Amino acid sequence: MERTFIAIKPDGVQRSLIAEIISRFERKGFKLVAIKIVVPSKNFAEKHYHDLKERPFFNGLCDFLSSGPVVAMVWEGEGVIKYGRKLIGATDPQKSEPGTIRGDLAVVVGRNIIHGSDGPETAKDEINLWFKPEELVNYTNNAEKWVYGDN
Ligand code: GTP
Ligand code: MG
């Protein structure tokens, strides 16, 4: 089953939005298979955002991600990578639709509270960067048969 990497950034943690954010993924029907709270080093943040290293905001972004606790998670479900991005909303909260996490809960692009992998390759790389294989839990959630039916 498809998996994606989701992180609640330091602003989301400080604003007490952990439960709110987890709840949106959980209520949708996605399954939490890994979770931890960590303060990433600057070097680790640079690895996570390596694709953006030429951008003018890269240094500030990495300083910010490493400025406090981050809740790192892996969520599993059919279409979770793409639909997870839909739940999150557009990068700039000024452009995110109401009803999305960033649309409802954030105001500026530099403090948009959550990260989600943008495709299958980045999902795989980010899960491997943030988690050891043994930190991912394989289990059956009893609600699955109600979320997916018999097929
Ligand atoms: P992530 O899920 O965090 O990766 O966001 P994204 O995929 O929606 O956007 P992208 O990967 O392009 O940018 C990563 C992060 O950099 C964003 O979430 C923002 O926090 C930050 N960012 C992107 N564009 C800007 C910008 O123009 N200015 C500033 N200050 N930050 C930006
Ligand atoms: Mg991104």
pLDDT in tens, 100-141: 999 999 999 999 999 999 999 999 999 999 999 999 999 999
This complex has an ipTM of 0.95
Tell whether ligand 1 has an atom less than 6 A from the beta carbon of residue 100.
Answer: no
Distance of CA 142 from the midpoint of ligand 2 (Å): 32
Q: Is 50 among the residues known to form the active site?
A: no
pLDDT band at 151 (very low <50, low <70, confident <90, very high): low
**Nearest-angstrom CA–CA distance, 127 and 19:** 21
Distance of CA 9 from the midpoint of ligand 2 (Å): 13
Predicted structure pTM score: 0.96
pLDDT digits (tens, 9 = 90+) for 72-98: 999 999 999 999 999 999 999 999 999
Tell whether ligand 1 has an atom less than 6 A from the beta carbon of residue 61.
Answer: yes
64 backbone φψ class: left, alpha, beta (φ>0; ψ -120 to 50): alpha
